[in-house]
Amino acid sequence: MAVRDSNGNELVEGDSVTVIKDLKVKGASLTLKRGKLFKGIHLTDDDAAVEVREGKSVLVLKTEFLKKA
pLDDT in tens, 4-16: 999 999 999 999 9
State residue 66's pLDDT score: 97
Provide the percentage of residues in the chain whose pLDDT is more than 90. Answer: 84
Compute the distance between CA of residue 22 and CA of residue 43 in angstroms, rounded to an integer.
22
Q: Report DSSP state, residue 28.
A: S
State yes or no: pLDDT of 48 exceeds 90: yes
Domains and CATH numbers, the chain: 3-68 (2.30.30.40)
Compute the distance between CA of residue 39 and CA of residue 57 in angstroms, rounded to an integer.
14
State yes or no: pLDDT of 1 exceeds 80: no
Residues 6+ apart with CB under 8 A from 42: 13, 50, 51, 52
Compute the distance between CA of residue 5 and CA of residue 66 in angstroms, rounded to an integer.
6
